[in-house]
Amino acid sequence: MSKHKQTLGIEVEENAHRLETLQIHNMTHIDAEVLIIGGGIAGVSTAYHLASYGYEVTLLERGNLASQASGVNAGTMWPSGWGIVPDLPSTLTMGSLEMFKTLQFDLGYNFEFRQSGALKVIQTEEEYEFCRTLLLELKTKGYCVELLTTREAQSIEPELSSELLGCMYYPLGASVHPAKATYAFASAAQQRGVRILTNHEVIALEYLSDKTYRVYTPLTIFHTGMLVIAAGSWCRPIGLMLGLDIPVIPVRAQMWSTERVPIRLFHVIGAVESALEWYKDPSNRYGTPPELTHKGKVRLTRHLYGRQTHDGEIIIGGDRQLADANIPDRSGIEVNRNHAIEVLPFLEELPIKRTWAAWMPFTPSLEPIIGKIPQRDNLYIIAGIYTVGFERSPMAGKLLADHIHNIERPHILSEADPARQVRAAS
């Protein structure tokens, strides 16, 4: 038996053991029409949209809201328009962009949304040629992206290095404060009646003969007619509690920041280097598991993204690796900082103030999993939106709520159909 299969077996047994040993008669019982597991952006958006349809929703979060990826990500968005024929990525990103605008400008929440535009720097001739080809393809599909000379880029982002060969410019690029944005969705959901219970870790699940679920936390048992898994990088252990193998792999992403400085950066910033590497060798991108910047300990490419926050910190991120702990790897941070200095030379003057890491929920295919899980009744999932999960989950939550409410799956979600990826655990 493979190590993987053994692990699945042990975790399924553990759920059964917990069910046997829980002191059920001492526990509080609560009924919920819909129960959502996970208080990140995916869970709170789904809760908000289901409540807007009139469902009575309870959301359980193990720690605090936004305590994982949704609270500590870079908050960058790289929209390039709907395109002539909107596909799933453009629908998720553009739909989410509109929702962020609605929440901030129409409903009055402040999570520092700013449509600043975004720039991806070009550092080599090969990257430049790649961008020219890419631009042609994107323009044909109706996307809003430009190729700027270094001078043009510097005129809107003066701190960019003169050594660059140019920039891909995304005029629709934007950013938010991720924790504040997650709390804004949660607060809007609560105003529509959603019950949010933090410090409620789901420790066991039971699928009952009447196609409903019992959901166990240490002190309370919930009974629900509909269960939504929105547990980010922890979807796999949740699935195993129901005998399902949900292929979500936690990939560590790490970031660092400078101290607060007066505003010197106006756009969301990135670099083309990694995009070119992944384009050249799609096996790096679609391989299993998705180690994007490294294969084992060997570096494949340098990845770079970042921005200056409303408070003045410059936050930069890069490496994406499989790892045992969400502790930043210092040498990777140094590589990332040196890359950032190549792009923005003034960063050399600014020491690293803090570093952090968290888990991104990847699937081996890089396809998200959004919709009804076919192996059980009344079971839904929203997961696996990997490195773009913040810019895409608000709309993913709306589409999932539409799916639950209308029963029929929105056509655009076909490629995210859980039937393509979720299997029975064996």
Ligand X SMILES: Cc1cc2nc3c(=O)[nH]c(=O)nc-3n(C[C@H](O)[C@H](O)[C@H](O)COP(=O)(O)OP(=O)(O)OC[C@H]3O[C@@H](n4cnc5c(N)ncnc54)[C@H](O)[C@@H]3O)c2cc1C
Q: Which residues, including other chains, have CB under 8 Å from residue 9's CB and lie 6 or more apart?
A: 1, 425
Two tokens at 17? 């053991």
Q: How far is the CB of 129 from ligand X (least distance, A)?
A: 27
Instruction: Return the amino acid letter for 100.
Output: F
> What DSSP state is assigned to residue 104?
I
**15 makes contact with ligand X (CB under 6 A):** no
Two tokens at 162? 């003169």
> What DSSP state is assigned to residue 217?
-
Which span (12-20, 56-64, 141-149, 327-335) binds ligand X, by CB under 6 A? Answer: 56-64
Which residues from 26-45 bind ligand X, rule CB under 6 A? Answer: 37-43
**232 makes contact with ligand X (CB under 6 A):** yes
Please identify which residue in 15, 46, 58, 68 interacts with ligand X, judged by CB under 6 A.
68
Give the phi and the psi of residue 111 in degrees, each rounded to 5: -125, 30
Please identify which residue in 234, 256, 278, 380 interacts with ligand X, judged by CB under 6 A.
234
How far is 415 from 420, CA to CA, in rounded Å? 8
Which is closer to ligand X, CB of 73 or CB of 284? 73
Contact present, 404 and 391 (Cβ < 8 Å): no
Q: Which residues, including other chains, have CB under 8 Å from residue 37's CB and lie 6 or more apart?
A: 43, 60, 202, 215, 227, 228, 229, 230, 231, 238
Two tokens at 377? 């009744």
Binding mask 307-346 for ligand X (x = CB under 6 A): ----------x-----------------------------
Q: Following CA atoms 288, 291, 296, 299 in sequence, which dihedral angle do they give, to the nearest 10 degrees?
A: 140
Nearest Cα neighbor of 372 from 425, 426, 414 is 414
**233 makes contact with ligand X (CB under 6 A):** yes
**399 makes contact with ligand X (CB under 6 A):** no
Which residues from 359-378 bind ligand X, rule CB under 6 A? Answer: 360-361
Nearest Cα neighbor of 232 from 383, 362, 372, 337 is 383
Q: How far is the CB of 1 from ligand X (least distance, A)?
A: 26
Element (H, E) at 285: helix 282-286
Q: Which residues, including other chains, have CB under 8 Å from residue 102's CB and lie 6 or more apart?
A: none
Contact present, 332 and 263 (Cβ < 8 Å): no
Please identify which residue in 387, 394, 401, 416 interacts with ligand X, judged by CB under 6 A.
387
Q: How far is the CB of 178 from ligand X (least distance, A)?
A: 7
Which span (67-75, 148-156, 273-281, 284-292) binds ligand X, by CB under 6 A? Answer: 67-75
**113 makes contact with ligand X (CB under 6 A):** no
Give the phi and the psi of residue 275 in degrees, each rounded to 5: -60, -40
Q: How far is the CB of 48 from ligand X (least distance, A)?
A: 13
Which is closer to ligand X, CB of 108 or CB of 198? 198
Which is closer to ligand X, CB of 169 or CB of 362? 362
Contact present, 216 and 115 (Cβ < 8 Å): no
Q: How far is the CB of 133 from ligand X (least distance, A)?
A: 25
How far is 172 from 154, CA to CA, in rounded Å? 18
E-strand ranges in 38-86 read 57-60, 76-77
**358 makes contact with ligand X (CB under 6 A):** yes
Q: Is the peptide bond before 351 cis (omega within 30 degrees of 0)?
A: no
Please identify which residue in 35, 60, 138, 395 interacts with ligand X, judged by CB under 6 A.
60
Q: How far is the CB of 185 from ligand X (least distance, A)?
A: 10
**73 makes contact with ligand X (CB under 6 A):** yes
**134 makes contact with ligand X (CB under 6 A):** no
Which residues from 261-300 bind ligand X, rule CB under 6 A? Answer: none
Contact present, 320 and 291 (Cβ < 8 Å): yes
Please identify which residue in 15, 57, 61, 380 interacts with ligand X, judged by CB under 6 A.
61
Q: How far is the CB of 369 from ligand X (least distance, A)?
A: 11
Which span (5-13, 135-143, 368-376, 389-397) binds ligand X, by CB under 6 A? Answer: 389-397
Which is closer to ligand X, CB of 131 or CB of 369? 369
Total of chain residues touching ligand X, rule CB under 6 A: 42
**246 makes contact with ligand X (CB under 6 A):** no
Nearest Cα neighbor of 369 from 182, 224, 190, 235 is 235
Which is closer to ligand X, CB of 99 or CB of 231? 231
Which is closer to ligand X, CB of 40 or CB of 81? 40
Binding interface with ligand X (CB under 6 A): 37-43, 60-63, 67-70, 72-76, 201-202, 230-234, 238, 253, 255, 317, 358, 360-361, 385-391, 393
